Amino acid sequence: MSRIVMKFGGTSVADLDRIRNVALRVKREVDAGHEVAVVVSAMAGTTNQLVAWCQQLSPLHDAREYDAVVATGEQVTAGLMAIALQSLGVSARSWQGWQMPMITDDAHGKARIESMDGALMISRMQAGEVPVVTGFQGVGPDNRIATLGRGGSDTSAVAVAAAVKADRCDIYTDVDGVYTTDPRIVPQARKLPRIAYEEMLELASVGAKVLQTRSVELAMKERVRVQVLSSFADADGGDLPGSLVVDEDEIVEKEIVAGIAYSRDEAKMTIRRVPDRPGIAANIFGPLSEAGINVDMIVQNISADGSTDMTFTLSRTDLPRAQAVLDAGKAMIGFAEVQTDANVAKISVVGVGMRSHAGVAATMFKTLAAKAINIQVISTSEIKVSVLIGAEYTELAVRALHTAYGLDAV
C-alpha cells in the first residue's frame, strides 16, 4: 500500500470522456489498495480563454482579479472529477486552494506556496476518500485566491505530496518520461528510468520542459519522489513506465552524463573595450538586473591597454531591451561599442556523475572540435558543462555529444 498523488494536465481532462478516463485510472490505484489524492489542471483551452478575457478588458489588469477569474478553470475540473469518481463508486471530494488551505505569498499571478497543513487530508485519505485538489492556486495573506503562474499545477501536486507525506507524486504529461535528449533530434535518445533532482533542474532550465522548474525545486527541497509518465495508458489501461525524479542517493547505477540539453532561445552580447577597473561589472549588470533581464553565461577577456571585452548571454526576447539599457548607460560605463548575435544556441551536458569523474568537459570540447564546431562561450557548474555555439550547429552538436557520452540506445 502506497500513498500517491496523481496530477493530470489540461489535455488529460480536456472533455468529459477524458475526465471519465482519468477517473477510471484513479479508481485502478484505489482498487489496488493505495491511498490517492488527485491534482487537476483546467480543461485544455479554458485558461487561455479566461486570460484572454482579462487582457481584452484591460491589458494592465489587477493581478488579484486575474487570479479570481483564471482560477475557476481548475475549480470546474476538480468538481467534475469528484463527480466522475463518485459515479464509479469511489469516495471523493474536491478541495479548492482556499479550503485546504494552500497558503501562498501575495505575489498574485505568480505566487509561491508557503505552507499547507496536510493533517486533515491525510485522515480523509486514510478513511478511503480521494481528495481532488485544484492545481495552480492557493490563497494569499489577503484571503484572496492567488495563482502560481502558468504550469503551476505541477508545483501544486508536489506541495500536496509533501503535505500528505506521499510516497510518490505521479505527473501525467503528454511525454512519457525524461529522455537523454530531445528524441526529435536524436532518435536513439533513451528514456531515463531515474534522474536526480539536480539533473532534472539543469535539464529543465536549458529547455527540456517536462516539469515546471519550481515543481522540481520544491520536490528536491521536500524530498518528494516525482514520477513523470504518459497520460496515455497502454493497451490494458495500465500505466506505461515513466521516469522517476529522485534524490541522487536513490540512483544506484549513476551514469556520468544523464542527458544533453539545448536551448535556441539565446542571444549573445559583447561589450567592446570596457575600462578595466573595479565596479565595472556592477555598472553593467546592475541596470540589466533592475530591468528584469536575466543574464546567464558571463565571460571577461584578459585586459589589454587598461580595457577589456565583456561577453554574456541572455534570453533572445530580452535583446532589444538590454540594448536600450546599455545605450542609456553608455556614458557611465564608458565602452566603445556593443555587438549582438542572436544566431546562437546553448548546448549543455548534465550529470551528477561528473562530480566524481574528470574529463567530461574535455570530451565535450574534443567532440565538438572533431565536428569543426567553434565554441564561443563556456560555462561550467558542478553537474553541467555548457557551451555557446552557432545556432546552425545545434542538431549536429547534440547528436555528436549523445554518441560521445555513450547515451545512444543500442
Q: Where on the chain is the footprint of its own copies (CB under 8 A)? A: 16, 19-20, 50, 53-54, 56-58, 61-62, 64-69, 72, 75-76, 78-80, 82-84, 86-87, 93-94, 96, 98-99, 143-145
| Residue closer to its own copies (CB basis): 59 or 279 | 59
Residue 175, Ramachandran bin (φ over 0: left; ψ between -120 and 50: alpha; else beta): beta
Identify the bridge partners of residue 357 per DSSP, sorted by sequence position.
none
**Do 388 and 375 form a contact (C-beta atoms < 8 A)?**
yes
Q: What would the 3-class secondary structure string for 97-155 be?
A: CCCCCEEECCCCCCCCEEEECCHHHHHHHHCCCEEEEECCEEECCCCCEEECCCCHHHH
Is residue 278 reached through a cis peptide bond, with omega within 30 degrees of 0 on the bond before it? no
Where are the extended beta strands (E) located within 154-258? 168-173, 194-196, 226-230, 243-246
Residue 92 or 389: the one with the smaller Cβ distance to its own copies is: 92
Taking the C-alpha atoms of residue 280 and residue 296, their distance in angstroms, rounded to an integer, is 17
Residue 136 or 405: which CB sits closer to its own copies? 136
Q: Are 318 and 294 in contact (CB under 8 A)?
A: yes
Q: How far is the CB of 17 from its own copies (least distance, A)?
A: 10
Query: In terms of CB distance, is 67 or 296 closer to its own copies?
Result: 67
Q: How far is the CB of 237 from its own copies (least distance, A)?
A: 19
Q: How far apart are CA 287 and CA 322, in angstroms?
A: 9
In angstroms, what is the minimal distance from the CB of 112 to its own copies? 21
Residue with cell 489496488: 32
The total number of residues shown for the chain amounts to 410
Count the Cβ atoms, other than its own, within 10 Å of residue 127.
9
Residue among 2 and 58 whose Cβ is closer to its own copies? 58
* Least distance to its own copies, CB of residue 219, Å: 28
- What's the gap between Cα 153 and its chain centre? 11
Instruction: Name the grid cell of 320.
Output: 532589444
- Residues in contact with 352: Cβ distance below 8 Å, sequence separation at least 6, in sequence order: 196, 198, 199, 248, 251, 254, 258, 383
Structure-block grid coordinates of residue 129: 476518500
Nearer to its own copies by C-beta: 3 or 144? Answer: 144
CB of 249 to its own copies, least distance (A): 41
Cell numbers 477517473: residue: 23
Q: To the nearest whole angstrom, how small is the minimum distance from the Cβ of residue 54 to its own copies?
A: 6
Select 56 or 356, whichever has its Cβ closest to its own copies: 56
Q: Provide the minimum distance between the beta carbon of 132 and its own copies in the complex, in angstroms, as a whole number.
A: 9
Which of 82, 113 has the CB closer to its own copies? 82
Question: Nearer Cβ to its own copies, position 156 or 311?
Answer: 156
CB of 145 to its own copies, least distance (A): 8
> In angstroms, what is the minimal distance from the CB of 23 to its own copies?
9
